[in-house]
Amino acid sequence: MNQLTPLTIGRFRIEQGIGQGGMGIVYRAYDTVLQRPVALKLLGAHLNNDEQARSRFRREAATLMRLKHSNIALVYDFGEHEGRPYIAMEWVEGRTLKNILQEEGRLPLARSLHIITQLARALDYAHAHGVVHRDVKPANILIDENNHATLVDFGVAWWDEAPSLTTTGSIVGTPLYMAPEQLLGQPVDGRADLYSLAAIFYEMLAGHPPFGGDDASAAAVIQQQIYLPPPPLDEQNPAIPRQAAAAVEKALSKLPDDRFARGEDFVRALHRRAEPTPAPGRRKRVIFSLAMAGLALILLVGLGLRRLTALGDVAPTAPPAPVFSPTPRPAPTATPAAEAPLIPVDQPDGGEWPGIHGDARQFRYQESGFWPLAAAPRWHYRAGTALTQPLVAADGQIYLTQAEQVQILDWATGTPAENAPSLGADIAAPLTLGYNESLQLYAATADNQLYAFDGYDLRLLWRLGADALDEEKIIHQAVGEDGVLVVATDSGRIMSVDATGDVRFTLTLDDNAELTQPPSITPAGIYGVTDSATLIAIDANTGAIVWQAPLNAPPTTPALPMEAYGVAAVGDESGMVQAQAILSGETRWQRQLDGSVTGLAYNEDELVVSTDAGQLYALSPENGEIRWRRTASGSLLAPIITLDQVLALSQDGVLNVYASEDGAPWPPGPIHLGVHPAWPPMLLGGWLVVQDQTSVWAFGPQERGP
């Protein structure tokens, strides 16, 4: 690797060479002004006099500066050093997917699906902004220790404002992963990127790309890409469900019109469940009363609905008919006997849900789907003391506070763990969870202490005392995707703490304003709402306030950053939802709704809003237009959204489920849980977990039919 002399480029101090390609050299460097690591890409000296190469290099910087997405590497700066252009980009810890595949070979289905879903969303976002990557391959994908995927190297990207820089008829990219039209030098659009994504997914599961081989020449690979179908994926890996293999085949179609138009459509197809094939000579006999005939028809049609769950977790059978309770049932005082056999759950699947506002970015979004519930709860846990904080859950465990104690409940049975630790003072803020090298649980107490525990055995990892917190009480906390904890105190301070307990920065808000909701965290920024009805954006690395924007009324929801649309949305007590530009803080749109806003949820297609007037809205994240509206019963808690469904639970314990696309009821009619929840529910691996002031209830799917 060549070394630069001197070992500085502007304000960037070179630390080591990382890689070298046809366009230039990539270094790990350190920004001496903003004090953060960066990836510094310097145009190769041999291309310095090549105006086309310089134009392409500048175009990469311009392209990436347009894109602000958690799965796309950010560009911080662009300039020249001694006449050679450079790009300073976000430094992403991790290995390339190419290295992972070389070292590990075939990857597990769940891990592959998790990675490919992130990349599909990143590509959909880039395509929506007029950018086609054109070189999607494993070497341009970085995977960190938490399987967070980042797409890099837009050096050959095409975008709709400068198409002349890439000439039709030229081939730019990597043949193993290129679409046929790209290999033929024809015009390309986002469907070419999705073809490449499908080829990568194929390699992750089969252990090799769909075309070519170790000894295949580039010419042979090109011929196969253009003329031959890929070997069926489920023949290369029999563990792959047929419907997933069929989705890959469609994504690898030779003609763009035969493929998926969007990455989201590809992901939906990968999740789709196959309908069962009836055994020959057998017929199911189902008898319904005349009064239930209409409902029966709807339920039979509903058998074709997808359950969005991790592929391969369950056998491909149709969902059961839901069990409805026509009138509210009083909450039982002990764990009731099951009214029907229940689906066995050895290792509940549902991932991480760090707080009542949703996942690490607080979108209240879950990819796992919702099954109709069994009539009786799976289990019921009654606490010995009043429950004053909402629970959190991850990896088959549920965590809740009981005065001074942190209690762990087994997800499948509700059985409490023994020897719950006592912290010596009441827990003052909601618990939160984060992943670094392992699961960590954070608890803040009324005597101004902050504890970090191992999430699996509650072993104490570290503690920040009252001196470190300046005798201030923590009132809110949240964890970002990088595992960094952000806490807010009752005197208007915001602190960023890494996974080892080291304070990264401390910020005191003007006039000692306090956050009224937990902060929301993205790789680029921290967003919070204050008691002075202000939305603030903070640099996640330095703690500097980037902008402040006034709100129309006191906020009632956390800020919800929607990076794909470049806005952060907030709901307030007057019923207004407003969206501010992430980069500048200017108001993009406002929408007045009926009732005070009680919650927001987002899945990159819809922004779902609930109100205390029992109204549920789906808004366009782009402009705030109302796509559909439904009226439920009672004051609604914050909703939950999946790819296909929206769950709305009222304070009276009435659950309504709607199709996220058009708001159609699913299943038809409300479900009365017989519980009066104190906090919004959690959807975890198809289970619904509900908490009131004294108890926790876990509702599971009903037994499948024969």
Residues taking part in catalysis: 135
Residue with tokens 């965290």: 521
* Contact assessment for residue 61 and residue 79, using Cβ atoms and an 8 Å cutoff: no
What token pair was written down for 464?
């920040």
DSSP string, 559-627: -EEEGGGTEEEEEBTTSEEEEEETTT--EEEEEE-SS-EEEEEE-SS-EEEEETTSEEEEE-TTT--EE
What token pair was written down for 488?
């807010």
CA of 77: how far to CAs of 31, 152, 547, in Å?
10, 15, 20
In the sheet that holds 95-96, the strands lie side by side as 95-96, 141-143, 149-151
* Contact assessment for residue 656 and residue 630, using Cβ atoms and an 8 Å cutoff: yes
Interstrand relation of 392-394 and 12-20 (parallel, antiparallel or unpaired):
unpaired
DSSP 45: G
For residue 84, the cross-strand partners are 81
* Contact assessment for residue 41 and residue 26, using Cβ atoms and an 8 Å cutoff: yes
520 three-state secondary structure = strand
Interstrand relation of 503-508 and 474-479 (parallel, antiparallel or unpaired):
unpaired
What token pair was written down for 481?
């995707």
DSSP 350: -
Q: Residues 6 or more apart from 98 whose CB is under 8 A from it?
A: 137, 138, 139, 141
